[in-house]
Structure 1
Amino acid sequence: MTLDNKVALVTGAGQGIGRGIALRLAKDGADLALVDVKADKLEAVAAEVRALGRRATTFVADVGDREQVFAAVAHAHQALGRFDVMVNNAGISQVQPLEAVQPEEVERIFRINVQGTLWGIQAAAAKFRELGGKGKIINASSIAGHEGYALLGVYSATKFAVRALTQAAAKELASAGITVNAYCPGVVGTDMWVDIDRRMAEITGAPVGATYRKYVEGIALGRAETPDDVAAFVAYLAGPDSDYMTGQAPLIDGGLVYR
């Protein structure tokens, strides 16, 4: 088990990709601090982690609030006795033509996707330094962080920003033994993509399900991505085999976007 007795914090852990990441890290030997804004879903994931024989603690936090993110990291260390990996997974989508986007919509998605990642980087780095250095920070970007998509323009901008933060943080924190990388999923069969497909249908007039099918049909490996597909790559980033990797944001999308 490559993460035996390590402690990892995963934001957005209550469902979807975040839940998948938490369970995979637990299978690889880590104890988990599970963070989400939805308290009811956290306990169910915590029970799944404990069923795998690992410890789990939960903390309700809005990642867009800097103080809450720092409190979540402090809780993880206090409850589980150490702190080794930070997965800034929490995020939201937005489907809207650029000409129609309103100020409050921009503020909300940037607060969660970009500021939430920044606060996570800050909180993790501060804790790693307090504990003597070394640690891994892993951020959620997207294929939309490599290519801007129509009707997902502002969302794409936030994911490009996550890549920029990842690169800058990797350069700033390398001397402390802290690596910073990102993962860039494609079309994952989660509630987020259900919402994206529904909004695309409302805006374009396409039947519900048509946008999802169109993107899946473009995947070289012939199927939609699963949270487990993403989690397997995040487990690599969290483990020792990626110790010499930093500042990178690889695509893990089944062959949809090529860079």
Structure 2
Amino acid sequence: MGAALAEAGAKVCFADLNADQAAAAAATAPAGTAIPACVDVRDRASVRATIEATVEAFGRLDVMFNNAGINRPMNFLDVTEENWRGIMEVNGLGCLIGMQEAARRMIAQGGGGKIVNTASIAARQGFDNVAPYCASKWAVISLTQSGARDLAKHDITVTGFAPGVVATEMWEEVDRDLMEIGAADRPGQAMEEFSAGILKGRVARPEDVTGTTTFLASRASDYMTGQIVMIDGGMTLV
């Protein structure tokens, strides 16, 4: 989504826990439009430093995407406290910290702003082998609604989007993890089964998502707040 924003004229900070991946992503943007940053979304100081670096490079923060997320499938009865905490700290706490720190910067500089959170189809329906992930994405929806109510007085909108099955490295990793816990018998089976009910008849490509994310970052969505946009090809109807 960062590349799509840069193409649309935005100046973007590509932030990742992996510094090399952040740098590689920033290098794909037009010259002078992007910077990389290494960030741990679980650590408030790290998030704050990333925001400060963005403001130093570009002058202000207008849009914050809370997109960091992990998933470690485990059969429901095998879910451990470590598994639960690890997922919730990144997907839930990380989202909260990102929202808070972005909002504080936006309030300080004036002029409102936009916060966009990444939810999931798993936020609308629980799945047996990824219960902590589902719970974490339900948390993202609740945080989006709570943030929208609290930050409206500062002219800050808070929205989110919920992708379905997207052909990305994360889904490939989930596919492998499900095989390891015995929830799938062969490579690709999990993605096939999850996507069988997609009305559009195929899994999503990243470009199927970026049109919506760019819209949520733009002035065209100024009158939208507290809402989650489903981008799942019709897999989950709510």
Q: Could you tell me the TM-score, scaled by structure 2's length?
A: 0.96
Q: Which amino acid aligns with 2:20?
A: D
Q: Which amino acid aligns with 1:237?
A: L
What does 1:133-148 align with in structure 2 at a 5 Å threshold? 133-148=111-126
Report if aligned partners of 1:114, 1:158 keep a CA contact under 8 Å in 2. yes
Q: 2:10 maps to what in 1?
A: 30
Identity, in percent, stands at 39
2:29 match: secondary structure? helix
> 1:186: how far off?
0.2
> 1:54: how far off?
5.0
1:90 match: secondary structure? coil
User: Unpaired runs of 5+ in structure 1?
Assistant: 1-20
Q: 1:93 maps to what in 2?
A: 71
Q: Deviation per CA, 1:135-159, whole angstroms, max 9, x where unpaired?
A: 0000010000111111011100000
Q: 2:200 maps to what in 1?
A: 221
Counterpart pick for 2:134 among 156, 163, 166: 156
**Equivalents in 1 of 2:187, 2:23: separation in Å?**
32
Counterpart pick for 1:71 among 49, 67, 86: 49
Q: Deviation per CA, 1:118-172, whole angstroms, max 9, x where unpaired?
A: 0100011000011014000000100001111110111000000000000000000
> 1:224: how far off?
0.9
1:95 match: secondary structure? coil
**Equivalents in 1 of 2:184, 2:157: separation in Å?**
44
Counterpart pick for 1:254 among 229, 233, 237: 233
Give aligned pairs, total.
Answer: 237
Q: Deviation per CA, 1:179-210, whole angstroms, max 9, x where unpaired?
A: 00010000000111111111222222421211
Shift in alpha-carbon separation, 1:173–1:211, aligned structure 2, 3 A: same
**Larger CA deviation: 138-147 vs 220-229:** 220-229
Counterpart pick for 1:235 among 210, 214, 218: 214
> RMSD of the alignment, in Å?
1.1
Q: Could you tell me the TM-score, scaled by structure 1's length?
A: 0.89
4+ residue stretches of structure 1 with deviation over 3 A?
Answer: none
